Structure 1
């Protein structure tokens, strides 16, 4: 059975207080036959006077503004007073510098309000954008159903998007979508697979998960992230080819091991918000030594367009919230197949270069394995890049360099030496700040 808005608020937060709102004007702009009676019946059934409940509470240790849809009130539909309340909630959050959590459960715009209802989406989008520009973190929770404008504004537009399992999620509601469309496309699970949702959360874990996310997003810091320590005690390579072989060794530590050792705990974000996920890139926020640090880490595979776009999304979000960033470089290079080209690998790399170049927070980079060409450099912070003893960084792979220079593959080890890609070479060239040790 679907919990009411009040039941959900009580389960995830403490000390909830409704916002004080001005008296609402008459709510029947079109004079729709039977609407006043339907509205009165919804109020009597739910105990609410509108389809959203807005107020301030505490989740974990963080004071938070909450916007909770009551689906029992006319299907959680969005009308004039819905817009009034959402706008007031964001104004309250902006004025006090509080994060906003939206608990979405709506069937879309209220038909009895016509275009007046649809225009509320513009008000909601503007209120959210103004709060975002003021540095207000925003989290949405997709409940069943999250469709129409509720999904296409606060649901999909939040900084972090969480979903409850089995929720119906989609711009088109069940009564208006094409009959031939598979129902699976309109699920929160599909949206997770397509990079439009960051993670699924079991209902009984929602309060704890929100508390962790709010702690992370509401903890700005001005100090740069320190580079992680090396995970292996190995000697520096004697030759360039030794460096390449060390970086490619199966026993070499990968990004998940570095992240787990670096953070006390962490939460991932997923996907490029445009339909794709690159499993070879991990992004998110972690807690270390009493503060939040954002991370974008390559995991040793060729990075695809979605990986660069997800990392760029992460860097822009951290920059807006004032949270320093750690990036881990480990890739043979950007994906170069036809699918990557069609998916916009060039624009995606450019997007990440720009995000790091314009970040308003310090970005620290550690090269932990292969640093292959521009696909690796896009993740790297100029002037703040460190390297482990079992890593290399190069204009391209030695094999590709030999091919470009029209040299036989037997010359690859010699080319690796000539590229000066060893950790100590990079420090000597001024391209790495230093070599980290265990």
Structure 2
């Protein structure tokens, strides 16, 4: 299958089986609501060419065993454009999904709004946005698949507004379609790959892997659980550090287990989300996604031992809010010397990004579990920590700021850094005595 496959070819690619939904019929004036000359003839030719009567086919389907409502666009029908009839079908599909508690999977291939219906076509985006919002409020996941092309309002509502956004390789993706962009626009910016790099989509998935990937995502996002995520077991040192500076050295050791190793040990299956939906990613600083632990879904946000950038904090916020809405517990792994503090981070809104994460953690209704697995540097680490449900491994520390910086703030000479580390009481056993971390509950095996 190519990214330009028909609606029914796409349904056959991703679904084990499907049943087309009945769709509402709309009586239309000759040549549509605007009386556009030749519009009826254009629709008739499109119907004859594609075998469809509108630009979307909606069905209830099973994808790798998980039921869902699929919305497949037919690009061959007037460029997959959205008109009033399209809006009717989309509204009916979303309503059916909410009534039957089913996730929604838009399989998008559209050039945008239908010109022959003018502003009445454009207002269908408001209908779609409302249906998507109602489905979100109902706690049902939406997973979009971007085919070729996904442009205009279809991208700005069904696509970019989904919880998880997957894309086929080489698909044209962007708000501006090819005929309305500036003449000197770089075409590489309007691709699926560019949207993933910019944090607006989560992954590019080859067609041969699409059904399996969709099935995994649907299983993960339709498995709510109100039980907290178990605490991962420590993978590094088992003895406690003798001094504060010893704790710092251990946490900074090159061979100390990092986030990827903890996630691999904890999950039997996991899928990543990527990007903050604001133009940024932080793949080297924050790992986010959903996985299976002991047969149930747990969301995760894990720092990797580097300075966390604003996009990393925003991605973690996105992850926690999605998990909260779907009723999925969250595991966070703290490991950062602190938030990135260079000029670029300030221009990217570091303070606002950290504030948003603090707010998401503070207001989450789903249970959060935190394990400090390395460095816990200042507010950039604390933002990811669950109040009252934070643990720490023996080769970690948590501090108001790195001991070197604390000494500098207090105008102490470099030779007093180790002493400062002791006085800050940053060892795991110190943090337990202070009530900052917990020592009860048995870690997961």
Q: Give SS of 2:216's match.
A: helix
Match of 1:320 among 304, 325, 330: 325
In the alignment, which residue of structure 2 is the partner of 1:223? 227
Q: CA deviation at 1:123?
A: 0.3
Q: Is the 8 A contact 2:230 2:444 kept in 1?
A: no
Normalising by the residue count of structure 2, what TM-score does the alignment of the two structures yield?
0.97
Q: Is the 8 A contact 1:388 1:437 kept in 2?
A: no
What does 1:21-420 correspond to in 2, within 5 Å?
21-26=23-28, 28-279=32-283, 280-420=285-425
CA RMSD after TM alignment: 1.1
In the alignment, which residue of structure 2 is the partner of 1:9? 11
Runs of 4+ in 1 over 6 A off after TM superposition: none
Q: Is the 8 A contact 1:230 1:437 kept in 2?
A: no
Q: Give SS of 1:297's match.
A: strand
Alpha-carbon distance in structure 1 between the residues aligned to 2:16 and 2:37:
41
Q: Give SS of 1:351's match.
A: helix
Alpha-carbon distance in structure 2 between the residues aligned to 1:368 and 1:23:
58
Q: Give SS of 2:196's match.
A: helix
Alpha-carbon distance in structure 2 between the residues aligned to 1:417 and 1:332:
17
Q: Give SS of 2:233's match.
A: coil
> Structure 1: which 5+ residue stretches go unaligned?
none
Q: CA deviation at 1:437?
A: 9.3
Alpha-carbon distance in structure 2 between the residues aligned to 1:6 and 1:20:
16
Q: CA deviation at 1:151?
A: 0.3
Q: CA deviation at 1:10?
A: 1.1
Alpha-carbon distance in structure 2 between the residues aligned to 1:52 and 1:175:
22
Alpha-carbon distance in structure 1 between the residues aligned to 2:385 and 2:71:
38
Alpha-carbon distance in structure 2 between the residues aligned to 1:254 and 1:263:
15
Q: CA deviation at 1:350?
A: 0.5
Q: CA deviation at 1:22?
A: 2.7
Alpha-carbon distance in structure 2 between the residues aligned to 1:119 and 1:111:
12
Normalising by the residue count of structure 1, what TM-score does the alignment of the two structures yield?
0.99
Alpha-carbon distance in structure 1 between the residues aligned to 2:46 and 2:100:
33
Equivalent residue pairs, number? 438
Q: Give SS of 2:160's match.
A: helix
> Structure 2: which 5+ residue stretches go unaligned?
none
Alpha-carbon distance in structure 1 between the residues aligned to 2:444 and 2:214:
36
Q: Give SS of 1:88's match.
A: helix
Q: Give SS of 2:179's match.
A: coil
Q: Give SS of 1:157's match.
A: coil
Q: Give SS of 1:434's match.
A: coil
Q: Is the 8 A contact 1:233 1:437 kept in 2?
A: no
Alpha-carbon distance in structure 2 between the residues aligned to 1:123 and 1:263:
39
In the alignment, which residue of structure 2 is the partner of 1:20? 22
Q: CA deviation at 1:8?
A: 1.1
Deviations 1:219-238 (A, max 9, x none): 00010001111112432100
Alpha-carbon distance in structure 1 between the residues aligned to 2:277 and 2:438:
34
